[in-house]
Structure 1
Amino acid sequence: MQFTSGYGAEPGAWRLPGANLRSYTDMDQFVRYAQAAERGKIQLLFFADTPVLDVDLERQVPHFAIDPLLVMTSIARETERIGLVSTASTTFNEPYSLARQFKALDVISHGRAGWNAVTTSDPAAAANFGRAVPPRAEKYERAHEVLQIVQALWGSWEKDAWVLDVDGKRFADMDRIQPVDLQGRHVASRGPLPIPPSEQGQPVIFQAGGGGYGLELAGRYADGVYANPYTIEDGQAQRQALRDAAERAGRDPDEVKMFAGFMPAIAGSRRAALDRRRFLDESVDLRQRVRYLGAMIGLPLGYRQIDEPLTADQLADAVPSPHDPRSARALEVAREGWTLRDVLAHGVIDYHPVVAGTATDVADHMQQWFEAGACDGFSLAIDGYHDGVDAFVDQVVPLLQERGLFHLDYEGPTLRDHLHAREQYGLDPRVTETAAR
């Protein structure tokens, strides 16, 4: 389940009736949402992050939490099982700081931490560090170095180094706490890291990057990958490409799980769900969205038509763009006779597939994608947290459990247990051997 600034995946979520207007800074509110997700046995909470203010706060809430690692630490103290995963850039962070922060969270949470290791391409974010965005190849070369050094640092304190021998007056065995002494072209670290292993050894690695460079990074290091397929066919292709990348890196393809982004809007009926999304859409620029919808289906649409359906002549002229996988769905919805406002409320231009309907509609979508092999799981972008998390947990999860598609309880205490991820402590020797060839 994705967590953002505390309100929801939709820009207008902060305006929902009953929402806590101070969720952005209210850690008790984050804890309540996390506890609700844990009640539903959700495997993990995911905090995306880009280190920049990228919205106009006059009209929009921030995209990201005030500081994901600190918010997750607050949640860790008030939960027991749910995993806690955050994005942190390999482009503008040093490996020692990353290793220390994420392993500290892993120890604090008793083995429930994960790191989504990504590169940064936003020039405004780069400016916050007084730098420019490096060329793509250089960014990913640095990413490989950072990931290897971070994992080496995680393993620099051996599992049995913390002896705690009161009679022998030995706190730890320094022969088992060793420097890593790694020097790359872009980053380096001496080590060691002064933190013992957690119950899962070290944090789980995630990745969320497209293209050949991103695939290679995910195939070598990641146990979980966030992807944005819009159709089942696209999901199947992305998942197979990811599995092939893992195999090229000398790993078992089953070790890498792909999570498909998905946006449910749950209500008692399709009409009620669309009305909810129409309310949320009041916070976005609908004039711009109508024009964008027209570009997707090859029509010059104007805002004056927003509360009318497409005419027969428009439907005859409409053609989905071959360059946008969302276009076919947009035209399909328009042909059902909805007004343009309702077409947009269906989420046809959102960055994830949207299901606006009943809990059964949402469960059906998830079952169809999962059984088709379009993903290994889902990254849920709940429209508004204040009632949407409970709706998913209390209405959709029981349906998935009844269908034998979702577990009845956590498989164990750690994030690795939840994901059936392989054991790892320090660098994966298979990956370093493959890289050396």
Structure 2
Amino acid sequence: MSSRRMLLGMQFGNGYGAQVTSWRAPNVDPKNYTDIDAVVRYAQAAERGKIQFLFLPDTPALSSDLTHEAPQMTLDPLLTLAAVARGTSRIGMVATGSTTFIEPYNLARQFKALDVMSHGRAGWNPATTSDPNAAANFGQTIAERPERYGRAHEVIQIVQALWGSWEEDAWIADPTTGIFADPAKVRPVNLGGQYVSSRGPLPIPPSEQGQPVLFSAGGGEYGLTLAGRYASGVIGSTFSIDDARAQRDAAREAAGAAGRDPDEVKFFAGLMPAIAPTVRDAVERRMLLGTNTFPQRVPYLGQMLGLRLDPRQIDEPLTAEQLAAARPSPYDPRAPRAFEVANQGWTLREILGHGVIDYHPTPVGPASVTADHMQEWFEAGAVDGFWVSIDTYEDGIDTFVDEVVPLLQERGLFHEDYEGKTLRDHLGAAPQYGLDPRVSGVGVAH
């Protein structure tokens, strides 16, 4: 049996779960949005399952329909993870930080501070924010993609240079000699480009892993170039093994083109499991969460199936005539799954309860269904691991940890315990301190 083991990250957001209506789920305190103790408790549950890292998506804007939905993002990713760092000891913590609206010095200081506070467990997902609502919060408009990604390259390189502005042995802290640090080894970076610049240095020495690990969650040619040059982890969105394998291969090829070892980049496919003792129970769980949202999704389900569907039919299955006319949309990768479920005789509400419109695949039923999905994709060489989005944190994380993780461990697919102490250890990421000399100089000048 291969010694290769899958890696697992977990989506971490608003104190409720990945479903927008999880704030209404049974046994959930609806005020958890501002309860940091609950968030820390959920992180501890994930750590109990030996999950390698938490991943916090973020955008600097409020874009939810607050009538029925809680905001999906945490109050503030770095402040949240600072609290999590104090309540955990091993799990990695990756936060999104905008390269478009945050200056590189601020990003460098905040993420390296988190890295030091957590003893080397921090990671950064540089995001080229494209939300006009976010731009408006900074009195700006969204720039064209080439400009946003050009700025991103400059920001990342300056941030990494700032992280290395203390040499690794610069901090002496010797009370006998009275020497705190060697000033000759704490130097400005003096980097600047077309969009951003910084003098430095930071007031922060290295962490146990040196500096935070970089992730990428952007798609397209521009995002792939960013991932290939800088990322150790890539979060993907894909609904088939073939597409996942293609995305993983593309990330590895981009790393090789940037002069890096392709094995330095780990690809994580998204997963949104619906776990319960039976398929019926799992569907019922999702339907309860979808009480207010499913009716408005019926027309979109119709588009996926090439039909004009009326929300008034939500508690009925497709008619024989509708089934005969249905065709999965070639423009939506989720459509084949929706078509498959529709042909099993479920009602429209139950079809939606199968998660067919979720933004990642949704295995439905006992824990073994989720474990089988993960095993199939992993053994097919389509992924290095998964980014798991739990529907409701309050009971869902424990269910995944207590039911899915042991199955993966029994099958030899997932580790039994943390082998190292840092995020870089968990991922098997290459050592790095400061700017990677193999990819330096893209749009940045001294």
TM-score in same-fold range (> 0.5): yes
Please say if 1:33 is aligned against 2:36.
no
Please say if 1:414 is aligned against 2:422.
yes
- Residues in 2 aligned to 1:283 and 1:102: alpha-carbon distance in whole angstroms: 38
Find the counterpart in structure 2 of residue 268 from structure 1: 277
**Which of 36, 57, 69 is matched with 1:48 structurally?**
57
Q: Classify the secondary structure of the residue corresponding to 1:77.
A: helix
Find the counterpart in structure 2 of residue 234 from structure 1: 243
Deviation at 1:435, TM superposition (A): 8.1
Find the counterpart in structure 1 of residue 353 from structure 2: 345
Please say if 1:315 is aligned against 2:290.
no
The correspondence of residues 38-437 of structure 1 with structure 2, limited to 5 A, is: 38-284=47-293, 286-432=294-440
Kept in 2: contact 1:180–1:190 (CA 8 A): yes
- The AA in structure 2 aligned to 1:155 is G
Find the counterpart in structure 1 of residue 33 from structure 2: 24
- The AA in structure 2 aligned to 1:231 is S
Kept in 1: contact 2:112–2:212 (CA 8 A): yes
Q: Classify the secondary structure of the residue corresponding to 2:181.
A: coil
Kept in 1: contact 2:154–2:442 (CA 8 A): no
Kept in 1: contact 2:273–2:364 (CA 8 A): yes
Q: Classify the secondary structure of the residue corresponding to 2:299.
A: helix
- Residues in 2 aligned to 1:303 and 1:79: alpha-carbon distance in whole angstroms: 45
Q: Classify the secondary structure of the residue corresponding to 1:432.
A: coil
Kept in 2: contact 1:154–1:425 (CA 8 A): yes
The correspondence of residues 3-22 of structure 1 with structure 2, limited to 5 A, is: 3-22=12-31
- Residues in 2 aligned to 1:283 and 1:193: alpha-carbon distance in whole angstroms: 48
- Residues in 2 aligned to 1:99 and 1:435: alpha-carbon distance in whole angstroms: 18
Deviation at 1:231, TM superposition (A): 1.2
CA offsets 1:205-253 (integer angstroms, 9 cap, x no match): 0011111000000000000011101111111111111111111001111
CA offsets 1:141-163 (integer angstroms, 9 cap, x no match): 00000000000000000110001
Alpha carbon RMSD of aligned pairs, Å?
1.1
Deviation at 1:331, TM superposition (A): 0.5
Unaligned runs of 5+ in 2: 1-9
Deviation at 1:320, TM superposition (A): 1.1
Q: Classify the secondary structure of the residue corresponding to 2:274.
A: strand
Deviation at 1:433, TM superposition (A): 6.9
Deviation at 1:169, TM superposition (A): 1.3
Kept in 2: contact 1:249–1:434 (CA 8 A): no
Q: Classify the secondary structure of the residue corresponding to 2:345.
A: coil
- Residues in 2 aligned to 1:283 and 1:171: alpha-carbon distance in whole angstroms: 60
Q: Classify the secondary structure of the residue corresponding to 2:273.
A: strand
- Residues in 2 aligned to 1:139 and 1:87: alpha-carbon distance in whole angstroms: 16
- The AA in structure 2 aligned to 1:429 is P
Deviation at 1:434, TM superposition (A): 8.2
Which TM-score applies when normalising by structure 2? 0.96
- The AA in structure 1 aligned to 2:265 is V
Kept in 2: contact 1:178–1:191 (CA 8 A): yes
| Percent of aligned positions that are identical | 65
Deviation at 1:167, TM superposition (A): 2.0
Identify which range, 308-317 or 260-269, moves more after superposition. 308-317
Kept in 1: contact 2:150–2:443 (CA 8 A): no
CA offsets 1:300-347 (integer angstroms, 9 cap, x no match): 111121111112211111111111111111111101111111111111
- Residues in 2 aligned to 1:308 and 1:80: alpha-carbon distance in whole angstroms: 50
- The AA in structure 1 aligned to 2:431 is E
- Residues in 2 aligned to 1:248 and 1:435: alpha-carbon distance in whole angstroms: 17
Change (3 A) 1:431 1:289: same
Q: How many residues align?
A: 435
- The AA in structure 1 aligned to 2:325 is D
Q: Classify the secondary structure of the residue corresponding to 1:348.
A: coil
